[in-house]
């Protein structure tokens, strides 16, 4: 078999097979008469589908797959931990709370009371 490469991507065998497939497809489609409208539509549709399949096979077969990406090691970022500063308390921390204060047997009221820790 003769194998001549054009730019290393498309060979003579592929070109010959494509030409043979095109000739067979065009020869197999019978000419449609004026009375046979559906045959013309179906024949044209079939020719278009086969032509599209052959054309896409030629286009996809001509492309070489891309080379794999080159290996590049990832960057490693080492961050120094931030120093932890522990502050001493400046004094007591106080806040207000509402507490229930009973006035009698069934009566009560709420008072605000300051609570310091």
User: Is residue 68 included in any domain, yes or no?
Assistant: no
Q: What residue numbers bound the domain in which 20 lies?
A: 5-62
pLDDT score at 1: 46
Q: Is residue 24 situated within a structural domain?
A: yes
Task: For residue 69, tell me if it sits in a domain.
Answer: no
Average pLDDT over residues 74-92: 90
User: What is the pLDDT averaged over residues 5-11?
Assistant: 50
Whether 85 maps to a domain, the answer reads: no
**Tokens coding 36:** 């046979």
- Is the whole-model pTM more than 0.95? no
Average pLDDT over residues 66-73: 90
SS3 of residue 50 by DSSP: helix
At which residue do the structure tokens 């019978």 appear?
30
Q: Is the pLDDT of residue 70 over 80?
A: yes
Name the band, by pLDDT with cuts 50, 70 and 90, for residue 91. confident
Domain-located, residue 93: no
For the chain, the domain total comes to: 1
Determine, yes or no, domain membership for 116.
Answer: no
For residue 92, is it within any domain? no
Please report the pLDDT score of residue 28 as a whole number: 60
Angle at 101 between CA 95 and CA 102, to 5 degrees: 170
The pLDDT of residue 2 is: 47
* Beta-carbon contacts of residue 21 (< 8 Å; ≥ 6 apart): 54
């Amino acid at each position: 078999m003769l194998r001549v490469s054009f730019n290393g991507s498309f060979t003579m065998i592929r070109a010959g097979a494509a030409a043979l497939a095109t000739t067979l497809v065009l020869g197999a489609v019978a000419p449609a008469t004026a009375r046979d409208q559906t045959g013309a539509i179906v024949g044209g549709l079939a020719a278009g589908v086969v032509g599209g399949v052959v054309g896409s096979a030629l286009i996809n077969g001509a492309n070489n797959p891309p080379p794999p990406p080159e290996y590049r090691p990832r960057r490693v970022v080492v961050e120094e931990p931030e120093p932890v500063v522990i502050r001493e308390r400046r004094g007591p921390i106080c806040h207000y709370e509402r507490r229930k204060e009973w006035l009698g047997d069934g009566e009560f009221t709420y008072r605000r009371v300051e609570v310091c820790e």
